[in-house]
Structures are given as C-alpha cells and as structure tokens.
Amino acid sequence: MWGYLPGVSQQRSPLLGPVPVRMPDAAAAAGDAWRDVAGGGCGFAMAVSDQGKLFTWGSTDDMGQSYVTAGKHEETPEAFPLPSDIAIVRADAGWAHCVAITGKGDVYTWGWKECVPTGRVIADHSATGAMDCDKRQSGVATDQGNSITVSPRSKVSRTSTKAASGPAESRGTEDSTKRRRLSSSKHVAESESSSDENLSAPPCVVTFNTGVKIVEVAAGGRHTLALSDFGQVWGWGYGGEGQLGLGSRIRTVSFPHPIPCVQPAFCNKDRTGIVMGSRTLEGTNDRAATCVKAIACGGRHSAVVTDSGALLTFGWGLYGQCGQGNTDDILSPTCVSSIMGVKMQRVAAGLWHTVCTSADGDVYSFGGNQFGQLGTGSDQAEIVPKLVEASELENKHAKGVSCGARHSAVITDKGDVFCWGWNKYGQLGLGDSTDRNVPCQVPVEAYNLLNVSCGWWHTLVLVEYPT
C-alpha cells in the first residue's frame, strides 16, 4: 500500500512508495492470508482475508471523527467487529461509511447514519453483545419537514419485468452535514447544522426482497449501490443530484430501492418492457435487453456497465463526470452514447471523474481533471469519454480499474499497476508527491499483482509473492 493513512505513521507523514501490509501475527498463525483489497475512505484502509474477515487500519479524519467506520485506528490491521459466523467476500467504503457482502449474498453496512438504511442492527459498539432490534419499517426520504415514503419492499423481484417508478421529486435545501459542499449557481446553498446528534450507525443487515443475492457493492460519498446476481441494481442513501437514478432529486432513500438501469433503446422497437434484473421479457423466450454486470459510485454520481458493454451514468454532472457531453445533472441512468460502439468491461468513479476499461483493454476517462486524474496529459476537463493514449499503456491490456478521490489506477492482465492524478500524499506510489497527468507504472516488487483498489487518499494492491 501507499499514500496517506494518519494512523500508520506517528508523524502523520504519507507513504510515498509501496509498503507491505502484514497480516496480524495471530491471524497468520491461524492460517489466514489476504484474499482481496477493498480501498477505504476517510483516512482508513480495508482488506478481506481468506477466512472471511474484514480487516481495517488507519485513522480518523482530521476532526477526530470516525463514525465507527474504521474500527482500530492504528498501524496494525485488525478484524472489524462483525459477527464471527459470517464470512465477508467483498467490501467497499465511501467517505465515512462501509458496506460488505457475505458469501451468501447478504449485505452489512455501517458508518454515517444517512448512508445506513433501515435494517436489523447486529452489533452495538457502545455496549457489550449484539442488539437484535428488527427495524424493517418503511424507508422515508425527508426534505425540510416534508416526507416522501419509499416502499421498503419493491414490487420488483428477480423475475419481474416492470420498472419501478421513482418517488416524486422533492425540493428545498439539502440536509446539512457539517461538511461544505462544492456547488454551482444551479444548486441551492445548504445551511450549517448545529445539531450534536450522533452521526454514526453500527453495522446492520440490509434488507432486500426475498431471494435477492448481492454479488457486488459500491460506496460513494453519501450513497450506495448494490448489484444482484441477476443483474439488478439497488440503491440507497443521498440522491439530491440524481445519483440514485430514480428520476428525481430525492434527498434520502433509507431503504434499498431498485434502479431502472436498462433503457428502452436497448429493446427492439416492438417491445415496450424494461427489464429490472430479469433476463427475459415476460411471455417470450428472447432477451428483451441486457443486465448490469459492474457498478461504481463516485462522490455524487454513479455508473454501471451492462453485459452488452454499454456504459450508463447518472448523478452530479458539474465537471462532466457523467460523460453526456454537458455539465447537467443526470437524474436517471442514461447511456453514454459517444462510446456506444465500444464494449466496456469495468468502471470506477472518483470525486469528480470517471474511468472505464474496454473489453479490448483500452482506458477511457472523463470528468474533472484538476490534478491530471484523467491521464490525458493535460488538466482540461472532458465532458465525453476520451481514450487515454499514453505511451506507458501502449500494448498494455487493462483489466481492472479503481479511482480515489482525485487519482486513478489500472491493473493490466500482466499484473502491472499504473497510477496517475493527485499525488499530494504519495497516493500514486512513485516515491514523491508530484501530481501526474499521464499513467505511470508503480514499481512493486512482487511475483504477480492481482488487484488494485484506491482509497480516497491511498492505494492498495493485492500481490502474490513467489513461494
């Protein structure tokens, strides 16, 4: 790993180059080992072990707020206190909330209260033992005293063919968060909150429809997406810029809600149905459209890739991070038409930018570029996807991609890692703190590099050493 994790250094100095992260001695003695890396949020890092433990390390933010997100805030990774009978296989973190999936497809989440949906609390960090309070009431989206009810049990199931209609658009100023928001003239300024209310929530089980199995999760600044094994996308959290894809600026969705990510354009003109997680149109044996195979959450925008290779984006568009050729907010999943002829494979999203890889191994980027995070050789923003034509990537086949707040990384099929963008805290791993606007290979001494995951201010890679 490399970059900024305050708890790893007593002087709070960044790690400018790759440093091994050792499995705790007790876990290693028990035969455990690293299985995957999971990035991290506000000053903390995460990784998943072979035995299904989620390890966290790092520190709190500069204000000393942890939102019970990171667990142990020190140099040595420690298993996050989840129930011992569950095995985590995937995880992701936003700015100050985390989400994890078990091998059975169950989802756990914790951190900022606005990011944690109504669910069954499984642990209370302030008391001994576990709480078993089932809170499966309806989710409520609030807006300055008005409320919009969102059904906790959508009528859309794994075999449904109807798209759920988004809740009515809400208006007014956004709920305050004690953190200043970047805004433009088209956004209403938010007010500061003087509330001393506890902003954190302990881990809880996220309740989905019966039979839904989640296989991938993505955490953004204040929202979360989850992908089922049938290709249906669910979302919850803050949606004021459309990042929940429900066709509105609903402030908060406090229960997982299905997001219609397949457009009529993908269907034949004589078919009017839109598929939500179903592979066939009701009453036929033909595929009406395609399902989603990859998801990503940025600071306030989202992106998905379908199994036909189409890229759809939605949410905040001020910097062009939705790739639609403008800077408008996109309230519903919309195909990025300029690359319709390119089959996309994976996608990642940062605070203001988006990076995706194609089936041919090419890299495309768009959005904000203040620190060179697009890798295009300049600091000019791009409002449509642009091919990253860097000499370092020539004859390279990118297979994985990840974004931090303002930096990007790809891993190739040969196990090489390239980083670019903001480097104030050494998050590029190149031995200095100089920003880069083109991809640069990170010198990692290992037998093989298997995966890369960017935290907001740091980068993790999973490596395989020779035996």
pLDDT at site 200: 77
Model confidence at 281, pLDDT cuts 50, 70, 90, reads: very low
Nearest to 218 by CA among 335, 87, 305, 90: 90
The pLDDT of 160-178, averaged and rounded, is 31
CATH 3.90.1150.10 at 2-120+200-264+288-464, yes or no? no
Q: Name the more confident of 248 and 9.
A: 248
pLDDT at site 11: 56
Q: What percent of the chain has pLDDT over 70?
A: 72
For residue 149, pLDDT beyond 70: no
Nearest to 4 by CA among 460, 458, 464: 458
3-state secondary structure of 418: strand
Using an 8 Å Cβ cutoff, are 305 and 345 in contact? yes
- Cα diameter, the chain: 65
Q: Which strand ranges, in their side-by-side order, compose the sheet holding 448-454?
A: 2-3, 458-464, 448-454
Nearest to 232 by CA among 105, 338, 87: 105
Model confidence at 41, pLDDT cuts 50, 70, 90, reads: confident
pLDDT at site 141: 37
For residue 262, pLDDT beyond 90: no
pLDDT at site 273: 31
The pLDDT of 364-388, averaged and rounded, is 98
pLDDT at site 126: 33
Query: Tens of pLDDT along 315-328?
Result: 999 999 999 999 99
Model confidence at 278, pLDDT cuts 50, 70, 90, reads: very low
Query: Domain ranges in the chain?
Result: 2-120+200-264+288-464
d(CA 423, CA 437): 10
The pLDDT of 272-299, averaged and rounded, is 54
Say which range, 186-190, 352-356, 373-377, has the weakest mean pLDDT.
186-190
3-state secondary structure of 51: coil
Measure CA of the first residue to CA of the last residue in the chain; give whole Å: 21
The pLDDT of 446-452, averaged and rounded, is 88
Model confidence at 119, pLDDT cuts 50, 70, 90, reads: low
DSSP letter string, 208-240 = -STT--EEEEEE-SSEEEEEETTS-EEEEEE-T
Pairing mode of beta strands 292-297, 97-102: unpaired
For residue 282, pLDDT beyond 60: no
Query: Tens of pLDDT along 21-34?
Result: 989 999 999 999 99
Give the CA count within 13 Å in the CB-facing half-sphere of 300. Answer: 22
pLDDT at site 83: 87
Query: Tens of pLDDT along 235-245?
Result: 999 999 999 99
Q: Which strand ranges, in their side-by-side order, compose the sheet holding 252-259?
A: 214-219, 223-228, 233-238, 252-259
The pLDDT of 69-82, averaged and rounded, is 71
